[in-house]
Amino acid sequence: MDFQYFMPVKIVCGRDCVQKNAQLWAGMGKKCLIVTGKSSAKNGSLADVCGALSANGQAWQIYDDIPQNPTVACVREGGRLARSFGADFIAAIGGGSPMDAAKAIAMLARQEDGGDIFAYKSTGDVLPMVHIPTTAGTGSEVTPYAILTNDEKQTKTSISAPAFFPKIAFLDGKYMRCLPQKTTVYTAIDAMSHAMEGMLSVRAGALSDALAKAALSVLHKETGALAAGRYTNEDRDALLYAATLAGMVIANTGTSPVHSMGYSLTYFHGAPHGRANGLLLPEFFAVCEEKSPARAKEILSAAGYASHKELAAALAPLLGEREAISRDTLRTYAKKASVNKNIKNCSVFFGEEDLFRVLVRSVGKAE
């Protein structure tokens, strides 16, 4: 039983938890840079955060220019803002993009030297953060990862640092009430993917498995709501909780070649991250069933599926029309994925041919 586990974020979960815990905000410092996206602000979360800060007499500045798949330019701009404002801490509001961007901004606020930020060392010199997820997928609120668009390498690249763990994550499903159905579905698939991929990691252990199975069990109960696109408050709470559980998993295990491949579908085809994972997951597990049948069965079964085919059948209606990408192009994606660090992180070896097979069967053009 060999494993390591670390997840130092204080999780505060419940209706109106942002406003009800003003004293937790007070402990973070006097000046807050709020990092969010344009649309992340519409669900009431920004108002709640400003209300909590205001009640404490804390000052804030809002930086709401985070796009989907945040760029290096936007986090550099955020870093400049944090420094000029003299922020003591950062509040990130939104899905994975604002939360991941906030981590890089927190780093740049303290360490900016103009160099390649993907090569920055993970020192502890990072502004403390509070994260408020408004989608239920990324789990970024409980991970040490920031994933940014890397134009130089034409992919998305993850930066990892223990100091990227937020101090506090506030989970309130009410912020998902206005979430578009597609976003709800794709982010839920992302969470499922995290839990399943985490179990395949070389770093998986008893504790991360227990968390992953708990996440998959909750998600399986939400299958009906996701398919119907109708959610009670309890459904939203459950989805958010499951996403955080799955985040606790990947915080300790990392992800798998599914993410390595998915980054190309996002970078070159604009596939939302969770959808990209969902497109690839069944064929990825088809290979796992061949190479590591017992573990593949255990994971699929924890997710509620007897085989990768059942998983495929369940996901297909949620993913929309598939991309149809040429074999030549997919060959370049397979090559790119084959050198991603997630390959070594997987307990099942995926060589370039395996990756190519998964890509062709998932999003290949009939030729």
Q: Which residues of this protein are in contact with its own copies, per CB under 8 A?
A: 1-15, 17, 173, 205-207, 210-211, 214, 234, 237-238, 241, 245
C-beta of 81 vs 211, nearer to its own copies: 211
As a whole number of angstroms, the distance between CA 227 and CA 181 comes to 10
As a whole number of angstroms, the distance between CA 96 and CA 66 comes to 10
Question: What pairing do the DSSP bridges indicate for beta strands 10-13 and 145-150?
Answer: unpaired
Question: Nearest to residue 336, comparing CAs of 346, 350, 323, 319?
Answer: 350
Nearest distance from C-beta of residue 214 to its own copies, angstroms = 4
Nearest distance from C-beta of residue 205 to its own copies, angstroms = 7
C-beta of 251 vs 355, nearer to its own copies: 251
C-beta of 141 vs 283, nearer to its own copies: 141
As a whole number of angstroms, the distance between CA 238 and CA 260 comes to 28
As a whole number of angstroms, the distance between CA 327 and CA 147 comes to 27
The letter for the amino acid at 64 is D
Nearest distance from C-beta of residue 237 to its own copies, angstroms = 4
Nearest distance from C-beta of residue 225 to its own copies, angstroms = 15
Coil vs helix vs strand at 86: coil
Question: Nearest to residue 100, comparing CAs of 50, 150, 56, 58?
Answer: 150
C-beta of 9 vs 360, nearer to its own copies: 9
Nearest distance from C-beta of residue 15 to its own copies, angstroms = 7
C-beta of 19 vs 39, nearer to its own copies: 19
Burial of 8 by CB count in 10 Å (0-12 exposed, 13-18 middle, 19+ buried)?
Answer: exposed
Nearest distance from C-beta of residue 148 to its own copies, angstroms = 26
C-beta of 203 vs 331, nearer to its own copies: 203
Question: Nearest to residue 34, comparing CAs of 94, 119, 96, 120?
Answer: 94
Question: What pairing do the DSSP bridges indicate for beta strands 168-171 and 129-133?
Answer: parallel
Nearest distance from C-beta of residue 291 to its own copies, angstroms = 25
Q: Rounded to 10 degrees, what is the CA torsion of 222, 227, 228, 234? A: 20
C-beta of 4 vs 181, nearer to its own copies: 4
